[in-house]
Structure 1
Amino acid sequence: MLNVGVIGLGVGERHANVYKNDVRCRLKGIHDFNHKKCENLKSKFPRVKIYRSDNEIINDENIDLISIASYDNYHFKQVINSLKKNKHVMVEKPICLYKEELDQIIEIKEKKKNIQLSSNLVLRANPKMVDVKKDIMLSSFGSIYYIEADYFWGRTSKLSGWRSKMDYYSIILGAAIHMIDLVIWMLGVKPISVYAIGNRIGSNTTDLKFNSFAVMLLKFSNGLIAKITGNGPCVHPHFHGIKVFGSKKTLIHNFHESFYFNKTKNKTNKVTLKKTKFKSDNKDKIITNFIDSILNPKINPIVTEQDIYNAMSVCLAAEESMNANRIVKIKY
């Protein structure tokens, strides 16, 4: 039985529900900087202790697993402190904001071989994305030469909240990281360089003083190009779009439909795919699998610590590229 503590009760409330409903776990405690949130959840989690600080919940020797869903700028400190206290850690993206922080996490985690670390990069559990990855692995696209992966965030009102109060908010680390991780996971290879640009035109009426839109061009060693966007202020439903272009087949997955184009002789055929919803149990799969990996060391997490480091390395190189206005070689 794993004793679990959850920090941050926005999306963290979903984390808490997963642990509460898993017979292998005991949801022992919750914490949020907004104590009213904790009080409001008392009726939902009547037997759960409310901790007054993140340090208090992390320092509790009876807790085995800390799930971190606080604001982005608190993740690094909470991850580091949890690892130092020998807690398994599930953290919402991003795990941190700067390269120096990532280096510290890697250094400490190297000393904690028996501790599991994962991040809730949920698109790996999306059935549609799983099917696309299978097709790629079966080489049904032929030679893939170009991919587009777009994160339509479309939640402009949230840009004036806690994100605007951070010393630095990154739309790449806060949104596009999902699409970066998705492309690396689908292809099974890492990009070698990145060029990124962005702007805040779409959010200039909000309190956010940082870029709310970014576009990245990733280059792979075989010449494949992937275009990734993090589109914060778009007038569009929240959605993750993807297009895969190969020598034999093309996939288009947009808000309205998903379909393939393939060729028979000189004719291009459209094959419409069945719509599949990204259901709650799929969204929770990253966390439930993480529990599996803690209880059974033979099971690997769907998102390993190396997967986190790879996606973060691309994001940080993209940030460097955007600031320097040049192509940056990605260091892993």
Structure 2
Amino acid sequence: MQEISIGVIGLGVGERHVAAYREIPGVTVAAVCDMDEEKLHAVADRQEVDGRYTDYRKIIEDPRIDAVSICTYDNYHAAQVIEAFNAGKHVMVEKPITLNREDLAKVIRAQQDSGKRISSNLILRQSPRFIALREMVQRGDFGDIFYMEGDYLHQILWKITEGWRGQMDFYCVTYGGGIHLIDLMRWIIGEEVTEVTSMGAKKQTRGSSFAYPDVMTNLLRFESDALAKNTTTFGPQRHKMHSLNLYGTKLSFENGIPDGRLFRGDRPEDEEPFTVPYPAVEKGDLLPDFVAAIREGREPNVGAQDVFRVMEICFACWESVQNRRNVDVTYTI
């Protein structure tokens, strides 16, 4: 088994990465990094990591480290990903990997030139319920999917009014939340988005320093002409929910807690519970596959094309909000 040495940069959610890597046979977390020295040593002590830096370049430049997890603030991702590829590292990066098209083009170029793997923590693909739904859709159980709804509903408004996200020069709630459901729907249906129409509103954060829409709704058209809605809100008065609804010519699905529901018609007897566990997934659950992809010389389950394309869909959504018009989605790879 190929021994893999890992460095983790950013120790908020990054601590979950450290813990997950430590469970993988043959993987060593050689070093961690955080700007906050107190947090750095607290996490490193808990996770028993010797290498400790406040400068991320110390990890990226270390020739002994094979791969890095980048879990820093969103506006740092692009530069750190590019530097990691230039140093010959494989990269797992929290979403969004960049905040604009120009930086994405640079990331794509660096990744392609390096020949190294990239993945992003689009963790809903690991939920047993969504895996089961994808298998049913691909098998034809739903018939022809013609409409979907995938909404990110999470009461975390403080993250954009008080946290670091609200202090960034630019922040888009679709990039931070809705991206999960956009990726999930394209993965389940096995198609790409071709066109978007989006709207944004700043109502919940009026009077705060946050300057961008706090709610975004995106309408998506897929290759088969299936339509979908994707809404992100950080202020709902409810528990966290990945609201996924699928409507097909044979079968429909609505997500719920604890169970989802399947519908084969409009009568009470046509409804049945869908009890496959949800979310039943942890932040580090994609990391074993990322390591396996490095060892096996293959694309991760969330591979380069997925990572880049879902960002290009998100960029099109923001452009639609800015320009108040439909936007065709184009893909670099």
| TM-score where L is the length of structure 2 | 0.94
Percent identity of equivalent pairs:
30
**Is 1:57 aligned to 2:59, yes or no?**
yes
Distance in 2 between residues matched to 1:300 and 1:105, nearest whole Å: 17
CA contact (8 A) 1:203 1:233 kept: no
Shift of 1:23: 2.2
Which one-letter code corresponds to 2:133 in the other structure?
Answer: V
Distance in 2 between residues matched to 1:42 and 1:268, nearest whole Å: 55
Q: Which residue of structure 2 lines up, in the alignment, with residue 133 of structure 1?
A: 134
- Cα shift readout 1:274-302 (whole Å, capped 9, x = no counterpart): 1514335x5433111000000111x4311
Q: Which residue of structure 1 lines up, in the alignment, with residue 321 of structure 2?
A: 322
- Cα shift readout 1:251-287 (whole Å, capped 9, x = no counterpart): 01034531111039x876111121514335x543311
Please list, as runs of the form range in 1=range in 2, the aligned pairs for 1:157-168 lying within 5 A after superposition.
157-159=158-160, 160-168=162-170
Q: Which residue of structure 2 lines up, in the alignment, with residue 183 of structure 1?
A: 185
Distance in 2 between residues matched to 1:106 and 1:47, nearest whole Å: 31
CA contact (8 A) 2:4 2:27 kept: yes
Q: Which residue of structure 2 lines up, in the alignment, with residue 116 of structure 1?
A: 117
CA contact (8 A) 1:261 1:268 kept: no
SS at structure 2 position matched to 1:202: coil
Which deviates the most, 129-138 or 270-279? 270-279
Which deviates the most, 221-230 or 97-106? 221-230
Q: Which residue of structure 2 lines up, in the alignment, with residue 263 of structure 1?
A: 265
Please list, as runs of the form range in 1=range in 2, the aligned pairs for 1:1-332 lying within 5 A after superposition.
1-113=3-115, 115-159=116-160, 160-204=162-206, 206-255=208-257, 257-263=259-265, 269-274=270-275, 276-280=277-281, 283-297=283-297, 299-332=298-331
CA contact (8 A) 2:32 2:49 kept: no
- Cα shift readout 1:13-41 (whole Å, capped 9, x = no counterpart): 00011112222211111111222111222
Shift of 1:248: 1.2
SS at structure 2 position matched to 1:310: helix
- Cα shift readout 1:233-259 (whole Å, capped 9, x = no counterpart): 222212211001111111010345311
Which one-letter code corresponds to 1:41 in the other structure?
Answer: V
| TM-score where L is the length of structure 1 | 0.94
Count of residue pairs brought into register by the alignment: 328
CA contact (8 A) 2:142 2:250 kept: yes
Which one-letter code corresponds to 1:62 in the other structure?
Answer: R
Return closer, same or farther for 1:279/1:222 CA change in 2, 3 Å cut-off: closer
Which one-letter code corresponds to 2:232 in the other structure?
Answer: G
Return closer, same or farther for 1:275/1:23 CA change in 2, 3 Å cut-off: closer
Shift of 1:57: 1.5
Distance in 2 between residues matched to 1:141 and 1:154, nearest whole Å: 32
CA contact (8 A) 1:125 1:283 kept: no
SS at structure 1 position matched to 2:224: coil
Structure 2 gaps of 5+ residues are none
Distance in 2 between residues matched to 1:260 and 1:47, nearest whole Å: 46
Structure 1 gaps of 5+ residues are none
Distance in 2 between residues matched to 1:47 and 1:14, nearest whole Å: 13
Which deviates the most, 6-15 or 196-205? 196-205
- Cα shift readout 1:187-240 (whole Å, capped 9, x = no counterpart): 111011000111121222543221121000001233210001111122221221
Which one-letter code corresponds to 2:214 in the other structure?
Answer: S
CA contact (8 A) 1:126 1:283 kept: no
Distance in 1 between residues matched to 2:173 and 2:28, nearest whole Å: 34
SS at structure 1 position matched to 2:223: coil
CA contact (8 A) 2:198 2:217 kept: yes
Distance in 1 between residues matched to 2:207 and 2:19, nearest whole Å: 36
